[in-house]
Structure 1
Amino acid sequence: MEKIAFLGLGRMGLPMARRLAAAGHPLTVWNRSPGRADGLTGAATPAEAVRGADVVVTMLADPAAVTEVAGRFTAELAPGALWIDMSSIGPAAVAALHARLPDGVALVDAPVIGSVGPAATGGLTVFAGGEDAALDRAQPVLEQLGRVRRCGGPGAGAALKLVVMGAMVASVAAVGEALAVAGELGVPQDVAREVLAAGPLAGVVARAHSADSDFPVRLAAKDLALAGGGPVLAAAREVLLAHPSIADEDLSAVVGALRRARG
């Protein structure tokens, strides 16, 4: 079992770290806010956490957070270490991380699809990008966390994650708007939802009304910003940003927010 350092114990990071510890990996963790280690072996700094680690996993909020934390530990990475970044930061940020890697250190970008429940049970979908040798080495670690889909070279996993999130988040916003319009047109909510759920939008309707997902609206807006795109994704992001009161609630909260906004 390779020695792992896990940096970032947020909603997703903590259950993921616990999965790796339960699999038998010697594990050291670090989190920006202290007190999150919860029975795991904690380090005071990122540099302390990664010192002597074979594999470093980062699970942080955004490109700025990854860049800042990376600046605090990359000098401590030994030749032969593998860095797996599982944050959602997009391919441009991944390229910037590659440019600052110490000699002999490999990087895999491996963002995930799934929420807190799948993170705890190993049911995530992992989009992995990187050189073949690095992906081969990362595979046994990533398989402890979920189903691994190899996407291609460096940045490919980060890119596919943005494609999927762009489609999903915009679709949830569209379903929320459609249900709000249904109320204005006198169509009962249960009828509109039933008919939508019986058609090609079934998966989106289910996600829009999920009671066990935990993907904050603010992170959904961040992913749309990273994805770029055209007017549809830009409009969906504006919808999310227009409701700051639900920023820390799951994405499904946008459905109720849109209905309330239209009276």
Structure 2
Amino acid sequence: MSRIAFIGIGVMGGPMARHLAAKGHDLTIYNRSPAKAERWVAEHGGRMAASPVEAAEGQEVVITCVGNDDDLAEVTLGREGAFRSMAPGAIYIDHTTVSAKIARQLAVEGKSKEILCVDAPVSGGQAGAENGTLSIMCGGRDKAVQAAWPYMEAYAGRITHIGPPGAGQTTKMCNQICIAGALQGVAESLRFAQHADLAIDKVFEAISGGAAASWQMLHRWKTMADDEFDFGFAIDWMRKDLGLAIDEARTNGATLPVASLVDQFYADCQAMGAGRQDTSALIRRLPK
């Protein structure tokens, strides 16, 4: 079993760290809110550290799952960052959804310190983290991904090595682009059925087994029909992710007309006070 530092134990990181502890690994936890780290350690064992640099010292593996580019830079490259104490040969895995730019930067910094770096954003939401069935998309050198793979298997249903550093993050952008379009389609279809006075459950039965089906339809149709949105992946987070994709598209020359439009629809939802609601609250901006 390995010594692992896990930095960031929110709704995603907490369950992922729990799966590693259940496998018998020796975990050191750091979280920006110490009370959350204390609760995690009290429930799952291990120890807590006062800073990322302390958490990473002497560890074979360091895993991060934080908020955004700035948060990630602070816990890795900052004055108290983990990279300051990581030893040559250590494995670094980042599960944050961030820009491809910072993923590539961390890979360069890691290579100079002989750290094996993998950018590994995830899909599957809180339920996937809790159940250990996340889909993980990886960017990094072959040696780094191969070294990280056995640890990620603790909470993954699928792991795919996409390509070089940054490729994991750009693949996560592809994921979010697909979700944005699918959710808008489900929202419009559901509202259309309601305006047509159709039996919503029968419509779902009829169309969810054919070409119209999607994860969003299968898991969100009923809750959207019932106006239930206080769960799942928040609109505020989705806007962050779509912003990353739109920024990357400006660099690589891609055009994202639908994703850009849905991003503005999500801005409307934020203005309605739905920023912390599930992304399926997109339907709220469509009149009943």
Settle same-fold status: TM greater than 0.5.
yes
Residue 227 of structure 2 is matched in structure 1 by none
Q: What is the CA–CA distance in structure 2 between the aligned matches of 1:104 and 1:17, rounded to whole Å?
A: 24
Partners of 1:167 and 1:207 in 2: CA distance:
15
Q: AA paired with 1:235? A: L
Aligned partners of 1:179 and 1:189 also within 8 Å = yes
**Partners of 2:184 and 2:66 in 1: CA distance:** 25
Matching residue of 1:78? 87
Q: Is the contact made by 1:170 and 1:236 (CA closer than 8 Å) also made in structure 2?
A: yes
**For this pair of structures, how many residues does the alignment match?**
260
Distance 1:64 1:170, change over 3 A: farther
Q: Which runs of 4+ in 1 moved over 4 A?
A: 185-188, 210-213
Q: Secondary structure at the match of 1:214?
A: coil
Alignment of 1:243-254 (within 5 A): 243-244=269-270, 245-254=273-282
Name the counterpart of 2:160: 149
Corresponding residue of 1:50 = 56
- Contact 1:116/1:213 (CA < 8 Å) preserved in 2? no
Deviation at 1:191, TM superposition (A): 4.7
The residue that corresponds to 2:252 in the other structure is none
Instruction: Report if aligned partners of 2:120, 2:139 keep a CA contact under 8 Å in 1.
Output: yes
TM-score by length of 1: 0.91
Residue 219 of structure 2: aligned partner: 207
Partner of 1:170 in structure 2? 181
- Taking the aligned partners of 1:201 and 1:138, their CA distance within structure 2 comes to 37
Q: Is the 8 A contact 2:204 2:221 kept in 1?
A: no
1:120-149 Cα distance to aligned partner (Å, 9 max, x none) = 221111111211111111011011111211
AA aligned to 1:61 is G
Question: For 2:17 and 2:274, how far apart are their aligned partners in 1?
Answer: 27
Are the equivalent residues in 2 in contact too, given 1:2–1:26 (CA < 8 A)?
Answer: yes
CA shift for structure 1 position 76: 1.4
Equivalences for 1:216-231 in 2 at 5 Å? 216-228=234-246, 229-231=255-257
Deviations 1:207-235 (A, max 9, x none): 33376962111111111111114211001
Conserved? CA contact 2:235–2:275, under 8 Å: yes
1:105 to 107, 110, 115: 115
Return the match for 2:266 from 235, 240, 243: 240
Question: After the TM superposition, which of the residue ranges 68-77 and 127-136 deviates more from structure 2?
Answer: 68-77
Q: Provide the rounded CA distance (Å) in 2 between the counterparts of 1:150 and 1:207.
A: 27
Equivalent position SS for 2:211: coil
Q: Give percent identity, aligned residues only.
A: 33
Q: Which of 208-217 and 101-110 deviates more? A: 208-217
CA contact (8 A) 1:21 1:27 kept: yes
Q: In the alignment, is the contact (CA less than 8 A) between 1:224 and 1:233 conserved in 2?
A: yes
Q: Following TM superposition, by how much is the alpha carbon of 1:90 offset from its aligned partner in structure 2, in angstroms? A: 3.2
